[in-house]
Structure 1
Amino acid sequence: MPLLPLWLIYPATLSLWDKTSGTWINLITVLLGSLLGLLLQDALPRRMQRIITQGLGLLTTFLGVTMAESLLKVPAAHIDGIILGLIAIVVGGVLGEWWQIETHLRTLGNWLQHRVKGGGNFTEGFVAASLLFCVGPMTILGSLNNGLAGNNTVLSIKSAMDGFAAIALSSSYGIGVAFSSAIVLLYQGGLSLAAGFFAQSLPDPATAPPILLTSGVGGLMIIGLGLNLLEVAQLSIASFLPALIFAPLLYALLQQFT
C-alpha cells in the first residue's frame, strides 16, 4: 500500500480498528517507553537523567526547525508563508492565554498527580509529553492516512519515535509521561476518525498549503518545547495550541480575498 494513496478513492468499508490502528500502536509504545523510563529512573543517577533529557531537547529543537521550514513552501498570493505563520502563532498565542489553556492543562496534570500520588515533576512530564506527542506533521498526516486508507505506516514510525522519547522523558519527569497517552488517544484517534471529512478538501495532504502552514506553526511550537527541555527558557507552549486551528482558517480566509 503506498504511503499516500489516492484520497478520492476512500474505502468506506474500513473498520474502527483500520481507521485507528496507528493510534493504538502509538498508545502502547508510549506506555511501554514510560514503563522502561521509570525503571531506569531508579537505576540512573540524576546527572545521567539530565543528559538524556538534554539529548531529547536537542533532537526536539532540530525536529522543530525542520518542521518550521514548511512555512517557506506555503504559496499564499502576495503574503509570505513566514508572515502567515507569524500572524497565526501570535493570534493563537493571545487566544490561548485568554482561554488559559496552559493553566487548564496544568490543572489537569495536577489533578491526575493528586489522584495517582505522582512525584513532584508529574505535571511537567504530562504537559511536555502531551505536546511533543501530539504536535507535528506526522500526527496530522499519519492520522489522515490511517483514517482515510487504513494505512498506519506513518503513525507506526511516529510510535517508535515517541516510545524512545517516552523513555527519556519518564526517566526524568516520572509517571506523568505515561498519562499523556490519554491525550494521544483522544487527539490522534479523533483526528483519524474525522479524516473522512477532509477527503474532498485535501486531495494531497502532503502538499496542501493549509497542512504546510499548520506544520510550520507546529514546528515553531516544537522549537519552544525543545528550549524548555534544554532549560534555556520556560515558554507557555500550550497557549499556542489555538494557532494550529487558526493557521488553516487564516489561509482559507486569505484565499477568499485574493
Structure 2
Amino acid sequence: LIGELFDLNQKITVFGNRLELKFASKSKNSSISIAQGFVTASLIVCVGAMGIVGSLQSGLANDHSTLFAKALIDGIVCIVLASTLGIGVALSGFVIILYEGSLTLFASVLVPLLTDSVINDLTTVGSLLIIALSLNLLKVTDIKVMNFAPAVFMPIIFSLFM
C-alpha cells in the first residue's frame, strides 16, 4: 500500500527516463530501458539476507568478510545483468552503496530490532520480490515490483508492535 500510495514504480521509471535522455546518444541499443536495469539490479542486490547480515557484522564487529563475499557475488550477477540491461545496472550502484552503507552506519540502532524471525521474514519478502522480478524479466507478468519494495522493511515495523 505504501509503494502504491507513493507510486514508487512510476517515480523510478521517470528517473530512468531522464537518465535515458541524458545517455541516449551514448547508448548503442535504444531498446534497453535504463529504468528496468536500475530497478532489477537494485532489487536483486539489496533484498537478500547477506546484505543485511553483512552490513550488521561490518558495523558492529568490524568484520567485513560477508560484505566482501557479497560484493564478489553481486559483481558477477551485475556483469551478467549489464550485458542485457545496460547502464542502468551500473547506476544502481549508488542505491546499493546508500542502502548497505546506511545499514552499516546504523547497525547499533537496528540490532535490537533484527531478531532471527525478523531476518527470516525480511529474507522471505525479499525472495518473493525476486520471484516477481524474475517473472517480469521472463515477460510472464508486468508486476510493479518497485511498489512492493517497502514491504522489505515491514517485518521490522511489525516487530515494534509485537
1:166 aligns to what SS in structure 2? helix
Note the alpha carbon deviations across 1:80-129, whole angstroms, 9 max, x for none: xxxxxxxxxxxxxx221111011111222222222222444222111111
1:163 aligns with 2:75: yes
CA separation in 1, counterparts of 2:92 and 2:63?
24
Matches within 5 A, 1:144-155: 144-155=56-67
1:241 aligns to what SS in structure 2? helix
Partner of 1:95: 2
Matches within 5 A, 1:1-258: 94-117=1-24, 118=27, 119-121=30-32, 122-199=34-111, 201=112, 208-253=116-161, 255=162
Amino acid at match of 1:211: I
Report which structure shows greater RCO (CA 8 Å, sep ≥6): 1
1:181, distance to aligned residue in structure 2 (A): 0.6
Contact 1:109 1:127 survives alignment (8 Å): no
CA separation in 2, counterparts of 1:226 and 1:146?
30
1:161, distance to aligned residue in structure 2 (A): 1.4
113-122 vs 180-189, greater mean Cα deviation: 113-122
CA separation in 1, counterparts of 2:135 and 2:69?
24
Amino acid at match of 2:138: L
Note the alpha carbon deviations across 1:2-60, whole angstroms, 9 max, x for none: xxxxxxxxxxxxxxxxxxxxxxxxxxxxxxxxxxxxxxxxxxxxxxxxxxxxxxxxxxx
1:238, distance to aligned residue in structure 2 (A): 0.8
2:140 aligns to what SS in structure 1? coil
CA separation in 2, counterparts of 1:215 and 1:147?
20
Amino acid at match of 1:134: C
1:251, distance to aligned residue in structure 2 (A): 3.1
What's the C-alpha RMSD, in Å, of the aligned pairs? 1.6
CA separation in 1, counterparts of 2:21 and 2:63?
39
1:140, distance to aligned residue in structure 2 (A): 0.8
1:174, distance to aligned residue in structure 2 (A): 1.2
Gaps spanning 5+ residues in structure 1: where? 1-93
Aligned residues with identical type, % of pairs: 37
CA separation in 2, counterparts of 1:210 and 1:252?
10
Q: Which has the larger radius of gyration?
A: 1
Moved over 6 A (4+): none
CA separation in 1, counterparts of 2:62 and 2:46?
20
TM-score by length of 2: 0.88
